[in-house]
Amino acid sequence: MLESMTGYGSAESVENGVRALVELRSVNNRFAEISVKLPRQLLSYELEVREIIRAHFQRGKISAFIQIQLDEEQPISLSINAPKINAYKALLEGLSAEAGVPASLTIDHFLRFPEVFDNGAPALDSDGRLWPFVKGLLTDAIDKLKAMRRREGEELSVDFTDRIAEIEKTLERVAAQSVENLESVRKRLAAKVESVAAKDLAYSRDRLEMELVLAADKLDIAEELTRFASHNKFFIEELRNDESGTGRKLNFLLQEQLREANTIASKSQNAEISQNMVHIKEELEKVREQLQNIE
């Protein structure tokens, strides 16, 4: 099935008093381009994060954002850090003696140093389990992003199928018009040959008949219609293909379809056929626009 390059996936959880959030956003891009924004505690895992994401996506500009913080719902116990208070007191008294200024310490002096309090909260990675925890959330976010990209891909697949069906119907009309056009041209050219033959002019009848055949052959679009139908068939088959690189294959088939459409329009020399081919090319252009979003 098709997979779009546009999507969003996130995962959030709390473990050991730490809340972690992983968000992934994906938009169109010709190649796989991955940007990562990590908290300070996980900077050393940036390369691994990129490789994990790259293993799941071949195309698209993917932005990863990971945030961690202490869970606000966890109770925090505050306490006084006596050693630091005594150290700051000695430092201030020493400063007073050195400056020759009488020391008059108050509680305000110590409140300038937040280190004199311990909040009792664990370090974000005190037990070394932060990365495995975040890695699991990253995997969940990737799964959700892929699921959303698949859903959008399925919707695009339906749209492509409907447009190819419309193109097939139009090609059937073109095929019928081509037979009528070819017969009309043959009759018109035959009438011109007879007109020349009715005159007392020196000419080669065999040469005239050969030119008639060549002229009619130039207007014959049966081969182009057959190839176009074949491209349509392969296009629909590729929509159901689970292999990677579907977007590139569909783009190649689209180029072949457009080539056949242009050839048919130029060879037919018929207004009705040309109008139908314009409609077909409009449908193909809509398909081309949507294909830019397929992985």
Q: What is the CATH number of the domain that holds 160?
A: 1.20.140
Residue 241 burial (10 A CB sphere; 0-12, 13-18, 19+)? middle
Residues 244, 153: Cα–Cα separation, whole Å: 13
| Residue 248 resides in a domain | yes
Per-residue confidence in pLDDT tens, the chain, 295 aa: 788 999 999 999 988 778 899 999 999 988 889 999 999 889 999 999 999 999 999 889 999 999 998 765 555 556 788 888 888 888 888 888 887 777 777 888 777 887 777 655 455 555 568 899 999 999 999 999 999 999 999 999 999 999 999 999 999 999 988 888 777 777 776 676 677 666 655 556 666 667 666 666 677 788 899 999 999 999 999 988 877 678 888 999 999 999 999 999 888 778 888 899 999 999 999 999 999 888 8
Does residue 218 sit within a domain?
yes
Output the pLDDT for position 241: 81
What is the model's pLDDT at position 35?
95
Q: Are residues 105 and 30 in the same domain?
A: no
- 161 and 141 both lie in a single domain: no
Q: Does 2 map to a domain?
A: no
Residues 169 and 104 in one domain: no
How far is residue 247's CA from residue 291's CA, in Å, rounded to a whole number? 7
Q: Indicate whether 66 and 179 sit together in one domain.
A: no
Do 161 and 255 sit in the same domain of this protein?
A: yes
**pLDDT for 200:** 56
pLDDT value of residue 51: 95
Claim to verify: residue 145 and residue 11 sit in the same structural domain: yes
Q: Does some domain include residue 14?
A: yes
Tell whether 62 and 143 lie within a shared domain. Answer: yes
Q: What CA dihedral angle connects 35, 37, 40 and 44, to 10 degrees?
A: -20
Q: What is the pLDDT of residue 121?
A: 47
Same-domain status, 104 and 137: no
Q: How far is CA 1 from CA 89, 130, 244, in A?
A: 71, 36, 10
The predicted-structure confidence for 64-96, as pLDDT tens digits, reads as follows: 999 998 765 555 556 788 888 888 888 888 888
pLDDT for the residue numbered 283: 95
Identify the CATH number of the domain in which residue 140 sits: 3.30.230
177 belongs to a structural domain: yes
Residues whose CB falls within 8 Å of the CB of residue 262, separated by 6 or more in sequence, listed in order: 277, 281
- Residues 97, 187: one domain? no
| Domain around 43 | 7-73+126-149
Q: Which residues does 27 contact at the CB level (< 8 Å), separation at least 6?
A: 5, 6, 60, 61
- Count of domains for the chain: 3
Q: Same domain for 114 and 167?
A: no
Nearest Cα neighbor of 235 from 214, 249, 223, 225 is 249
In a domain, 197, yes or no: yes
Q: Do residues 113 and 219 both lie within one domain?
A: no
Look at residue 1 and tell me if it is in a domain.
Answer: no
223 in any annotated domain: yes
What pLDDT is attached to residue 295?
Answer: 82
- Shared domain for 60 and 131, answered yes or no, is yes
